[in-house]
Amino acid sequence: MAEKLLEEMIQKINQIMASLDGTIAQINQMRGAINQMSQNFSEQTVAMTENIRLIVEVLKQFRVQSGKSLQELSDDFNHQIKELWDKKAIEAITEEEKKAIEIIRQASKTVADNLYFAQLLNIISSIREETNRIISASQL
């Protein structure tokens, strides 16, 4: 009887050990999957950060270049106004035309500012879309 009881205990212990081995294998498999997901997420985060850095750099360059272009236009316009003033031709311009010139100057500045803000909104939208795509991909 004692041998039978001992045999049953050994059998139960072996069953428990087999079950624990299976559980350990599953845990190891899950650890590997988690490590892989973590690695993929890290790679995607680094890639997204680099993309954002490149986008910001391109926008900085575009801002500088568009600023230069607008500055050149403004300088040319101011130069022409100065020439007219120097030639006293500006005296012939009516008050309405002077107001129109001022409105054009203000509109030019407003257009430049709106262009800059539109670019920023476009970047933010692109970053939001990229972030949502990465989050969606990482949740799969």
Write the DSSP string, the chain. Answer: -HHHHHHHHHHHHHHHHHHHHHHHHHHHHHHHHHHHHHHHHHHHHHHHHHHHHHHHHHHHHHHHHHHHHHHHHHHHHHHHHHHHHHTTGGGGS-HHHHHHHHHHHHHHHHHHHHHHHHHHHHHHHHHHHHHHHHHHHHH-
Domain extent for 37: 2-139
More confident residue, 25 or 117: 25
In this prediction, residue 66 has a pLDDT band, given cuts at 50, 70 and 90, of low
Max avg pLDDT among 59-68, 85-94, 101-110 = 101-110
pTM, two decimals, is 0.41
Residue 20 has pLDDT above 60, yes or no: yes
Number of folded domains that form the chain: 1
Give residue 135's pLDDT.
Answer: 84
Give residue 140's pLDDT.
Answer: 63
